[in-house]
Structure 1
Amino acid sequence: MCFHLRAVPPSALRNSPTWFQRLFEDDWDTVRERIGRHREEVLDRRYGEVELLYSGIPPNHAPGGPRTHVVLGGRPVLHPDPPLQPFLVLTAAQVSGVAEYLKAADFDDLWRHARGRLLRPYGATDAEPEVRGLFAATHRDLSAFYTQTARYGDAVVKWLMA
């Protein structure tokens, strides 16, 4: 299971769940190439924990704003197969807001605020350096993705893939 984020030019967006589904059908080599150019990002099953880093509280209770759009935010578009998760769409303006938020965010402050909740699943405090490093790397990757996407004036489409 992973959470997939993809940059899309606003002129290319279609209001079609089938079109959104096709966005995520590429092979892993193609996806990896776009990730290398910061045009796509993939979060592993810890995506909900990453959301805690930014919102500080469970995502379903987070107030709106750029910080809550980093991972799970966006306008839902129902998947053509109803049991599957909906797609989420961020407009180019929302992407710019997220990029500005991430540019101003201090990882050390984010970590201090969410540290207890983020370490809880890992149990031992000796795991902190490794866990902190994973979250710091994810923060850098998301920052690069949103910065590049905002620079191009693109929207973002997201989907939780099983």
Structure 2
Amino acid sequence: MSAYLRLRAVPPPALRNSAIWLERLFEGDAETVRRCRDQEHLYAGAPLHPLARNRSRTQVVLGGRPVFRTDRHKPPLLVLTAAQARQVAGFLATADFDALWDAARDDLLPRYGGVIAEPETWRAFAAAHQELRAFYVHTAECGDAVVKWLSEA
């Protein structure tokens, strides 16, 4: 089973602090951006964005305020405020993918077929990075918050 991070942009006035309400955002998720959870490894070794002092380097992928679900065995939903989404967008807009890849390469390649599969793996992660960047830049331009749901697919 693969883990996917599903993302949804939400205008801050519409945001609710209810796990049930947040889960409903993902019904019929044709518009949901999906990223493989391993994407976090790209950002784990990245320098922190200057505005994100004292934050996890994986804030881009896995960060946010948890909203716990009624079934405590399921991972919580995560919420980034509009301001946090702008910080992530700023980080992604200036991030050098090749430098991120170089730092995460040795950790990621064994999971995806080793050195022989590097070109394909690099392309997949580069495409995911571009999609994530586009999602956050658009979200920041709209002034939206972000809801994240780590799910099994």
TM-score in same-fold range (> 0.5):
yes
Q: Give the one of 13, 16, 19 matched to 1:14.
A: 16
Give SS of 2:108's match.
helix
Aligned length in residues:
144
For 1:119, the equivalent position in structure 2 comes to: 109
Gaps of 5+ in 2: 47-52
User: What are the Cα deviations for residues 79-134 of structure 1, in whole angstroms up to 9, with x where unaligned?
Assistant: 12221110000000000000000000011111111111111213431100000000
In structure 1, C-alpha distance between the alignment counterparts of 2:7 and 2:56, rounded to whole Å? 16
- Post-superposition shift, 1:72? 0.5
Gaps of 5+ in 1: 35-39, 58-62
For 1:37, the equivalent position in structure 2 comes to: none
In structure 2, C-alpha distance between the alignment counterparts of 1:96 and 1:119, rounded to whole Å? 31
- AA at the equivalent of 2:123: G
In structure 1, C-alpha distance between the alignment counterparts of 2:19 and 2:45, rounded to whole Å? 31
For 1:107, the equivalent position in structure 2 comes to: 97
For 1:132, the equivalent position in structure 2 comes to: 122
- Indicate if the aligned counterparts of 2:45 and 2:57 stay in contact, CA closer than 8 A: no
Q: After TM superposition, what 4+ stretches of structure 1 lie above 4 angstroms from structure 2? A: none
- Indicate if the aligned counterparts of 1:73 and 1:90 stay in contact, CA closer than 8 A: yes
In structure 1, C-alpha distance between the alignment counterparts of 2:70 and 2:21, rounded to whole Å? 10
For 2:43, the equivalent position in structure 1 comes to: 54
- Post-superposition shift, 1:16? 1.2
For 2:49, the equivalent position in structure 1 comes to: none
In structure 1, C-alpha distance between the alignment counterparts of 2:54 and 2:62, rounded to whole Å? 11
The answer as to 2:44 corresponding to 1:42 is no
- Post-superposition shift, 1:135? 0.3
Give SS of 1:111's match.
helix
For 1:68, the equivalent position in structure 2 comes to: 58
In structure 1, C-alpha distance between the alignment counterparts of 2:25 and 2:125, rounded to whole Å? 27
Q: Give the one of 59, 70, 75 matched to 1:85.
A: 75
In structure 1, C-alpha distance between the alignment counterparts of 2:54 and 2:66, rounded to whole Å? 14
In structure 2, C-alpha distance between the alignment counterparts of 1:123 and 1:64, rounded to whole Å? 35
Give me the TM-score of the superposition, normalised by structure 2. 0.87
Q: Give the one of 123, 135, 143 matched to 2:133.
A: 143
In structure 2, C-alpha distance between the alignment counterparts of 1:140 and 1:66, rounded to whole Å? 21
